Amino acid sequence: MSERDRGSDDWQPWDREPPSGPATEPVPAAEPQWASAAGAEPTTELPAGPPPPPYQPISGSWGAPPVPPSASAAHPVSQPEPRPGRRGPGWGALVGVALATALVAGTTGGIVGGALADRGSGSSGTAVAAPQPGAGATTRPRGSVANIAATALPSVVTLRVEGADGGATGSGWVYDDQGHVVTNNHVVAGAGDSTITVVLSNGKQVSGKVVGRDGSYDLAVVRVEGADLTPLPVGSSADVVVGDEVIAVGAPLGLDSTVTSGIVSALDRPVTPGQQDDQSFINAIQTDAAINPGNSGGPLLDMQGRVIGVNSAIARVPGTSLGGQSGNIGVGFAIPSDQVATTVDQLIRTGKAEHPIIGVYLDSSYDGEGVRVADDGPDGDPAVNPGGPADEAGIEAGDVITAFEGRPVTDDGELVVKIRARKVGESVKLTIVRDGRERDVTMVLQGSE
């Protein structure tokens, strides 16, 4: 499939990637503001009223240098029983879906309410002992928040990133026994080739390097050196239902080893944070567990202690500035674990992620029912990529896509999120309207980096 450049303001390639990568993703109209990694949770402005507009994350740090980890220490005690681990890549993924909202992501920069003492020594090349589960793992009932938190905390780390644009603090969690840590792309985007300081739950510091990251899914993998850490078990987000209890772990506002709890408030929220040239497409799990800047990249756990999502963004009240009241209001978003597993395995293997596409340019100026395929692409290119999935399924310029897998779509970003939640090679069904007549078409998703 040929790569294409971004189009004009009237239409933009929402699911096709040109040589510049994420820059091809169009910007939804009336998007809310998000604060993102490198010092802030991607934040989004909640819509004033229905229907909600597509949201975009605003990437950037929240000010001064990264906040040193808090002085709270982990509680060393023996672990009740071994947790299942993974050896390197190999986790498959299931599928998720989507809707849209305003958010703020999980890194933080600057001072947090007072001076926090820098604890732990710098990485020295000597192997650092891994933290042990805290007292709650043995003194509280199995399946309780205290028990799960005490067992999971040693596998959750704080990432301190120094980049050209300043410093930031975010969260991450151990994915496998090869030292791979999962976090958000916006947490490490400013790191470049620099070494990242990884702070363990017992305060010890080791070094880490980015091995792969993907802005479109807002995921990144950091390889930790000098510590033997235990991976967290990964659950299936496909099994999650609204009302399930969940636990969020991370370093909000630089306060590492922080645990909050809540429930799954909604599923399949199409969230599209970011700017035109750095946009993410997330079919998010919504939760009311408290998430604040610094939580980005941390795990969202179920009541069996399994990762079912990666905390990525929070909503903020309309009219509040990124430097003002942009903290938790009970509307947070996490990337589903099924998507995480697929993307992370690709990042570990190749350093890049593959994105499913259908091969069309969408008309962002269209405001009728459904999503309209543009009449033309940029520079006279066809709006439907010749030989692409949509072309082979019979979709033409001007067709209106009204449903994806039987579920209505009302916005460009929503359709892209639904497509991105699938896997390359999957068959999907779209409902289209042409000349007033409706019909279903089936196509096989192709991949694009």
Provide DSSP, 216-241. TTTEEEEEEESB--PPPPB--GGG--
Query: Catalytic one among 59, 123, 155, 186?
Result: 186
Note the pLDDT of residue 44: 45
Tell me whether residue 296 is one of the annotated catalytic residues: yes
Note the pLDDT of residue 73: 35
The pTM of the full predicted model, rounded to 2 decimals, is 0.73
Whether 206 and 237 map to the same domain: the answer is yes
Tell me whether residue 218 is one of the annotated catalytic residues: yes
Whether 222 and 341 map to the same domain: the answer is yes
Residue 256 located in a structural domain: yes
Residue 302 located in a structural domain: yes
Whether 343 and 394 map to the same domain: the answer is no
Residue 76 located in a structural domain: no
What's the DSSP call for residue 190? Answer: T
Query: Catalytic one among 296, 312, 337, 364?
Result: 296
Residue 363 located in a structural domain: yes
Whether 237 and 317 map to the same domain: the answer is yes
User: Total structural domains in the chain?
Assistant: 2
Whether 118 and 254 map to the same domain: the answer is yes
d(CA 86, CA 176): 5
Note the pLDDT of residue 31: 32
Tell me the average pLDDT of the chain: 75
Residue 163: band (very low, low, confident or very high) from pLDDT cuts 50, 70, 90: confident
Note the pLDDT of residue 132: 74
What amino acid is encoded at 334 in this protein? A
Asked whether 299 and 447 are in contact (CB, 8 A), the reply is no
Q: For a pLDDT cut of 70, what percent of the chain falls above it?
A: 68
**Residue 298 belongs to domain with CATH number:** 2.40.10.120
Query: Catalytic one among 15, 214, 218, 256?
Result: 218
What amino acid is encoded at 167 in this protein? G
Residue 8 located in a structural domain: no
pLDDT digits (tens, 9 = 90+) for 309-366: 999 988 877 665 544 546 788 999 999 999 999 999 999 999 999 999 999 999 988 9
Q: For a pLDDT cut of 90, what percent of the chain falls above it?
A: 50
The number of residues in the chain equals 449
Within 10 Å of residue 113's Cβ, how many Cβ atoms? 9
Q: Which is higher by pLDDT, 182 or 51?
A: 182
Whether 215 and 326 map to the same domain: the answer is yes
**Residue 387 belongs to domain with CATH number:** 2.30.42.10
Residue of 1, 90, 25, 95 whose CA lies nearest to 427: 95
Q: Which of 350, 370, 395 is the last residue of a domain?
A: 350
Q: Which of 333, 350, 367 is the last residue of a domain?
A: 350
pLDDT above 90: residue 176: yes
Q: Which of 319, 350, 381 is the last residue of a domain?
A: 350
Residue 87 located in a structural domain: no
pLDDT above 70: residue 24: no
Tell me whether residue 180 is one of the annotated catalytic residues: no
pLDDT digits (tens, 9 = 90+) for 137-151: 778 888 899 999 999
Residue 135: band (very low, low, confident or very high) from pLDDT cuts 50, 70, 90: confident
For residues 250-277, give the mean pLDDT.
88
Whether 250 and 280 map to the same domain: the answer is yes
Residue 4 located in a structural domain: no
What's the DSSP call for residue 364? Answer: T
Whether 97 and 191 map to the same domain: the answer is yes
Note the pLDDT of residue 126: 55
Whether 177 and 205 map to the same domain: the answer is yes
Whether 55 and 150 map to the same domain: the answer is yes
Residue 32 located in a structural domain: no
pLDDT digits (tens, 9 = 90+) for 368-413: 899 999 998 877 789 999 999 999 999 999 999 999 999 999 888 8
Whether 175 and 255 map to the same domain: the answer is yes
Domain housing 193: 43-68+93-128+140-350
Asked whether 5 and 75 are in contact (CB, 8 A), the reply is no
Whether 430 and 318 map to the same domain: the answer is no
Q: First vs last Cα of the chain: how many Å apart?
A: 11
